[in-house]
Amino acid sequence: MDPYINNDLKDIEKAVGEFCEKEFDQEYLQNHEDEHKYPREFFQKIGELGFIGVGFSEDIGGAGYGALGHVVAVTEMCRRLPGLGMAMSLGYIPSFVVDISGTKEQREKYIRPLIEGRYVAAFSVTEPDAGSDIGILKTRMVEKDDYFVVNGSKIFTTNAGYADFYTLLTMDENSFTALLFDKAVIDDNGPKRFEINDLGRKMGINTTISGELVLSDFHIPKECVLGQRGKGKKAALAAFELSRIVIAGQAFGGMLYGYERAVDYAKKRKQFGSPIIKFQSMEHDLVDMYVEIEKCRNLLYKAAWLYDRKDPESNKYASMAKLTIPESAVAVLNRSIDVFGGYGYMRDQGLEGALRDIRITSIYEGTNKIQKNVIARMLY
């Protein structure tokens, strides 16, 4: 019995799993990786099936299951094929800042079509000289008549170039403001004011584009302020709390992928006349993985459960999940490759790709050191 996941969520988990088992394909993923291309058609499909909206509230077209809903859907997608599951969830995780801090009109304009799979989101915070320390952001906005003029650059923006809307954290005099704009605003500015530089191929998640945004006297209408002016840092941190839990779900799905592949292979692979799963050393390795998975499962679900209840402990548990689960996922995937031996090192098995993809989960949305800082502040 799972104390956190009710029968409705179990049904959703089953539906997502059955779809991914049928539709997700290793060759399809690798072709998109080679082309450095986002699988937009799949994103639209999971939107139409309601998988994007599981965690979003009902007032905007979602199913209303909150963080637990997001975790269940993302975990199951990544459990079936981490690279594709991560690409799908990265299409909408950047929208959390809009969903949490946006006005009713902003949420209706951007979140509803995103839930339906028609929009992809991007959230730009990191700069070339400002990663973990957002207090030294150099991208600035200056107020004019009925618009703001923005100058600066953002780096490592996921979905840059094909996102339908962007949220940008900027310095606004002595505070931070988040600005929300779409392709219409970009087009109205004309050439040279908003440029995107593709940063090229990465270690993993190469079905997504990580780009640098360069803004030169970029005009953004005043109605494009996300939520309240001067409250951008608060909006960003609120979004990070949820996204850290969901990204931990990506890593957890990757753990399950590696472990389940390893168990299946160990049952079929024979050496010295017996399936290798019968060897005590192999049993011990698999048991170690299983125990680690169950520890992470409970931490992940508790973090999501606390978030949905607005518990004061939520932020601490979000950082604990984000700190712990990615590290465990890398360890489990490494051990899964060992089970396969030389075959695990081959690209067509999918394990080496899963390991490269999952590695980023301990970096983006706050590195492990940042998570330790958050936890320490709440403990001491």
For the chain, helix, strand, coil in percent to 5 are 60, 15, 25
- For 291-319, give one letter per residue: b (16+ CB within 10 A) or e: ebbeebbebbbbbbbbbbeeeeebbbbbb
The residue annotated as part of the active site, out of 13, 127, 241, 365, is: 365
Q: Is 283 a catalytic residue?
A: no
d(CA 242, CA 109): 21
Structural tokens at position 18: 């059955």
Query: Where are the extended beta strands (E) located within the chain?
Result: 121-124, 140-143, 147-158, 165-172, 175-182, 194-198, 210-221, 270-271, 274-275
Q: How far is CA 129 from the centre of its chain?
A: 23
CB 196 within 8 Å of CB 160: yes
d(Cα 358, Cα 123) in Å, to the nearest integer? 20
The residues that are catalytic are 365
